[in-house]
Structure 1
Amino acid sequence: MTSSYAGDGSYPPSFYAASANIIRTPKVLNGEESADICVVGAGYTGLSTAIHLAERGYSVIVVEGAQVGWGASGRNGGQIVNGLNASLGTIEKRYGASAADFVGGLLQEGASIIYDLVDRFGIACDLKRGNIYAAYTEKHMAELEAKKALWARHGMDDHELLDRDGIRAHVGSDAYCGGMLDRSGGHMHPLNLVLGEAAGFESLGGRIFELSPVTRVTQDAGGARVETATGSVRAKAAVLCGNAYLGDVIPELANRVMPVSTQMVATEPLGEERARRLLPTDKCVEDVRYILDYFRLSADHRLVFGGGVVYGGTDPADVEKKLRPNLEKVFPELTGVRIDYAWSGNFALSFSRVPQMGRLGDNIYFAHGYSGHGVTGSHLFGRILAEAIDGDRGRFDVFADIRYIPFPGGRALRAQYSTLGSWWYALRDWLGV
């Protein structure tokens, strides 16, 4: 069976797909099925929601248009970075101190959910602890100092500021003037994480139907109905977790977010000695520019390096050509290194950079728009969605009540508007202002 957005549903070529440690036999949705809850999308949000509901005793079916982790959950940078794209300071200015206090109390919960799932289900995903924010300029360092102080106000004391020598102990590059270590962050193999979560969900009695693109979701007083070309699921409620790949299935959500493509490469295996020169403490790294680079080591000592964006979700003609200059700028000793894998994937951008959660009518829930910070946010939102469906709407309502801000110019101009904005911030990064 084919999908309009995913071809035949096969994983796009990537280092992650080539090194997946669980090979599933996808089961297609055929005929009529029923469950308490139907989740649309077998990525991090969908599986986090499904696991938390199954643990509360609900019967749950997950319907996926391609395969488990086919989208951003199986192609991302593998970095467990705390926080939302919009900073706590931005949230405080935009929504007030109480909103910032609420979000501040949640910033590390997504990571803790990941660590717990890996431990409980024995997920083999090369999990490592610690991530680093890297600063190119003294202005960047001032931003990190302010971030550390703000996060400390909300009880987070896992952070250490690094001067030039301090970051050099973690990153074998002269590119940075300093940075900040977050000991509560980390990195892992993202596709193996989501595949392990799927297996964990199934061990709880959950069912997953793959290669089954959803064509329609409707609701009535009795619940919700999720339809595909060859089957349907009747449930008391549906949860929409398609994020950047939901498309136009739900017209009310189509304009709320924009798909944005980001790119990644994986080098040839570098050998342990060379790899340790680049990242001696095996932490993952992202810089603090608006259009940033991010990188880490794989278990077989490759450098996995990502960056760049294409608004609208299209793929650049040559990913390696786009990323190689930045990789070689950070690590000149890798000039000319062989690139074994190059790939792209979409994340969903909201205009406010704050993820959105809400409900359509009484029986359809949704979450999307993590804006490039979805690894931790998706796991957190899955737990909050499960809480709301189970009757505790406290945390859900806080996010659901945050005002949705549309893209200026609507759907037709959102990519052009965002591209102009990115040029402005890229210029500021280049000028160091």
Structure 2
Amino acid sequence: MSESYYSATAKEKFTTSKLCENLITDVCIIGGGIVALSCAQTLNENGISVAIIEKGQIFSGASGLNGGFVVPGYSLGLNEIEKKVGLEDAKELFEATIKGVNKVKNNILLYKLDSTKMEPGKLDLLRYRPSIKELNYPEMMARNYGYKIEQMEKEKVQGLLNTDAYCHGFFHPKGFHIHPLNYGFGLACQLEKDGVKFYERSKVKFIKKTEEGYKAVCSSGDITCQEVVVCTGGYPGDEPREIKKSILPITTYVVTSEPNDKIPNNYIKTKYALGDNRRASDYYRLVDDNRVLWGGRITAFPANNTKTIENKIRKDISNVFPELSNIKFSYSWSGVMGYATHKMPYIGQLKNGIWYCTAFGGRGLGSGTACGDIVARAVLGKTDQLKLFKNFNLQKNYGVFGKIAVEATYKRYIAKDYMKERSQKNNYWSKK
């Protein structure tokens, strides 16, 4: 697999050593992605000593390989969240993700992380004519959640995107997109300056309860601490086993084109983050002003070669922009996300007292940042927001059978989306 666009263009640099000592700290965080850094930042700001231990490299997982969209919300839609927990708790859950989005933005401004190339605006695109309920969506979000969304008619959408694929749009002024790897490296550098200890390429073999707290026994050293917070994602370690058995590792594909001035001049005439409303959606944006970064597809049984990834995404691009069917790619890669079967994050505390915060299913930059802060404040005894997630407990992933179910569900989504779009087109032509 070739390197990602992000690793090839990273301006920030961050490397650290393996754990080669017996360390004593207040809190040990397992995992080195967006959730871990958010959690460590809040703990450190409250005078708590923190060590982050990562079996690979910091931000080497989905946190540094994603589409770069920073938006509020969860993988599970608000309608479904309301059905599960009621409107008031749904409001609080959503508001938490707004705070997560703001935290990312504030960090970029505070630490002058210009290399993140923050660009404002997220545009949700409909591939069929909106229903009355969908047209009322912005008013509902303003009334129930205090969140601003702007309607975008088809003509305006087509002024930004030279395609007939979309019939309507919803613009999110508070959303934005970034170079996630530069954000992660830049924030890690700042946290290290502030006293957070980082250890890469260090695997936790097991966690032992002690009289003082816990001991994380690692491949080349131990960490003795009062609290452990597990912030792994799509690559969970062997311990705690309750977490590993609850994570569904789901793969998505991303490509970045070669520089091509025709893309911004003729086809994608906006720097907004872009994504359609299908269950199996495309998501894309301009990077470096004349490349398109395009992601999509989800699978539990990923392809393992660049050509297969490129062929799949090329088909998706051609479906929206037929003239770009021969587009050439510079980078192609896959990323593994941690999903829960209920599509909400896992955040809470195991019976042995170990904290966990994981399974953000492709929404980690915003909601992951939010929940990293929430679990840190729970460790500090400064919040009761964990109760908001009591209806979204750990659930078994059912191993290969869970993966087969995910694959079947994804294909069913594709079929439903196809039939809905085709039905609308048939209705349109029958009236001509």
Q: TM-score, normalised by structure 1?
A: 0.92
1:133 aligned to which of 124, 129, 133: 124
Q: Provide the C-alpha distance between the structure 2 equivalents of 1:157 and 1:381, rounded to a whole number of angstroms.
A: 19
Q: CA deviation at 1:172?
A: 2.9
Aligned: 1:27 with 2:39: no
Q: Provide the C-alpha distance between the structure 2 equivalents of 1:173 and 1:283, rounded to a whole number of angstroms.
A: 16
Q: Provide the C-alpha distance between the structure 2 equivalents of 1:373 and 1:423, rounded to a whole number of angstroms.
A: 21
* TM-aligned CA distance change 1:145 to 1:394, over 3 Å: farther
Q: Provide the C-alpha distance between the structure 1 equivalents of 2:201 and 2:56, rounded to a whole number of angstroms.
A: 4
| Structure 1 counterpart of 2:121, one-letter code | G
Moved more, 86-95 or 125-134: 86-95
1:79 aligned to which of 69, 73, 95: 69
Matching residue of 1:319: 309
Moved more, 28-37 or 390-399: 390-399
Q: CA deviation at 1:404?
A: 2.4
Q: Provide the C-alpha distance between the structure 1 equivalents of 2:132 and 2:81, rounded to a whole number of angstroms.
A: 19
Matching residue of 1:280: 269
Q: Provide the C-alpha distance between the structure 1 equivalents of 2:349 and 2:2, rounded to a whole number of angstroms.
A: 32
Matching residue of 2:430: none
Aligned: 1:406 with 2:395: yes
Aligned: 1:43 with 2:27: no
Q: CA deviation at 1:122?
A: 1.3
Q: CA deviation at 1:162?
A: 1.1
Q: CA deviation at 1:333?
A: 2.8
Q: Provide the C-alpha distance between the structure 1 equivalents of 2:284 and 2:263, rounded to a whole number of angstroms.
A: 15
Q: Deviations over 1:262-294 (max 9, x none)?
A: 0000000123x6424433231010111011100
Q: Structure 1 runs of 4+ off > 6 angstroms?
A: none
1:244-263 counterparts in 2 under 5 A?
244-263=234-253
Aligned: 1:102 with 2:81: no
* TM-aligned CA distance change 1:143 to 1:187, over 3 Å: farther
Moved more, 33-42 or 309-318: 309-318
Q: Deviations over 1:229-288 (max 9, x none)?
A: 1011111101111111114322111221200000000000123x6424433231010111
* TM-aligned CA distance change 1:159 to 1:276, over 3 Å: farther
Q: Deviations over 1:336-357 (max 9, x none)?
A: 1211111001001111111110
| Structure 2 counterpart of 1:275, one-letter code | P
Q: CA deviation at 1:300?
A: 4.8
Q: Deviations over 1:394-430 (max 9, x none)?
A: 112322x22426358x224101112111222211100
2:386 aligned to which of 384, 390, 396: 396
Structure 2: where are the runs of 5+ without partners? 422-432
Aligned: 1:113 with 2:103: yes
Q: CA deviation at 1:22?
A: 2.0
Q: CA deviation at 1:332?
A: 2.4
Q: Provide the C-alpha distance between the structure 1 equivalents of 2:212 and 2:67, rounded to a whole number of angstroms.
A: 41
Q: Provide the C-alpha distance between the structure 2 equivalents of 1:171 and 1:50, rounded to a whole number of angstroms.
A: 40
Aligned: 1:62 with 2:52: yes
Give the 3-state SS of the residue equivalent to 2:332 in structure 1: strand
Moved more, 128-137 or 297-306: 297-306
> Residue 224 of structure 1 contacts residue 363 of structure 1 at CA under 8 Å; is this kept in 2?
no
Matching residue of 1:3: none
| Structure 1 counterpart of 2:272, one-letter code | K
Aligned: 1:208 with 2:198: yes
Give the 3-state SS of the residue equivalent to 1:108 in structure 2: helix
Identity of aligned residues (%): 26
Q: Provide the C-alpha distance between the structure 1 equivalents of 2:298 and 2:366, rounded to a whole number of angstroms.
A: 20
| Structure 1 counterpart of 2:83, one-letter code | K
Give the 3-state SS of the residue equivalent to 2:25 in structure 1: strand
| Structure 2 counterpart of 1:288, one-letter code | N
Give the 3-state SS of the residue equivalent to 1:243 in structure 2: coil
Aligned length: 419
Q: Provide the C-alpha distance between the structure 2 equivalents of 1:278 and 1:56, rounded to a whole number of angstroms.
A: 48
| Structure 2 counterpart of 1:387, one-letter code | R
Q: Provide the C-alpha distance between the structure 2 equivalents of 1:169 and 1:263, rounded to a whole number of angstroms.
A: 28
| Structure 1 counterpart of 2:280, one-letter code | I
Q: TM-score, normalised by structure 2?
A: 0.92
Structure 1: where are the runs of 5+ without partners? 1-10
Give the 3-state SS of the residue equivalent to 1:154 in structure 2: helix
> Residue 260 of structure 1 contacts residue 310 of structure 1 at CA under 8 Å; is this kept in 2?
yes
Aligned: 1:415 with 2:403: yes
